[in-house]
Amino acid sequence: MYSVGLPSKFRKTVRVPAERLYEVLPQISRERILMEDEGKRIYETSVGKGICATVRMQLIPEGEVSSIEFDFSYRRLIFAILALIASLIIVGLSLSSLMPPFLLATLSFVALSIISLFIILWMKEELNEFLKNINEILLALESEYSRRKLMEDKIRWRSASVDAEKLYRELHEKYIKTWGSAFILEYKIREYMDRLGLTRDEAIMKVSEEEGLL
């Protein structure tokens, strides 16, 4: 079902260290830093022109991932609707002698509803576009960070004097004891080879790191 409701607050987690987001978030639109405490930063920006929404984004470092809390304020939108109500009251008073009170009240209510709905729908479209742009930027940063980290991992694995087959035997033994078979191990290795383009030895080292063997 379609809703004209506006977002109020939500949290998004991205697989990008906060240090990288510190560089990017201030470059998006008109952000400014409101507060910085223990690595947490709060950015503020406006969405829309004139009757705009204020969006605060709190960046929370969590190691190799970061959380961003979005908090939306519609103070200017509320003021605009209140100003519209006041204007309709003034117009209504000036026309009170020209038409019946019930008809005047009905027309004022209809006009207020239509204009308010139009403003809210316009604001929602602006916010949807803003959030879409933010999401595309964050996805691009996640992809960039994953590629860079994978390259660093490959260099580290290639320089490590480790026998991949010995690691595989240790993994195989561990998975047999834990799961009763090595099917999950082989699935992980094949998945990393297909999805990340790793060699079999690199995939074994990646699984070994995840299992705390490397």
What digits encode the pLDDT tens for the residues 175-199?
Answer: 999 888 889 999 999 999 998 888 8
Binned at pLDDT 50, 70 and 90, residue 2 comes out as: very low
What's the burial of 25, exposed, middle or buried (CB within 10 Å: 0-12/13-18/19+)? Answer: buried
Handedness of CA 93, 95, 101, 107 (dihedral sign): negative
Helix (H) or strand (E) holding 188: helix 183-196
pTM: 0.70
Enter the DSSP assignment of 125.
H
Chain-wide mean pLDDT for the chain? Answer: 83
Residue 73, SS3 per DSSP: strand
- Mean pLDDT of the region 189-212: 89
Give residue-wise pLDDT tens across range 24-73: 877 765 555 555 666 678 888 888 777 778 888 888 888 888 999 999 98
Sheet holding 32-37, edge to edge: 9-14, 65-73, 53-62, 40-47, 32-37
Q: Is 124 left (phi over 0), alpha (psi -120 to 50) or beta?
A: alpha
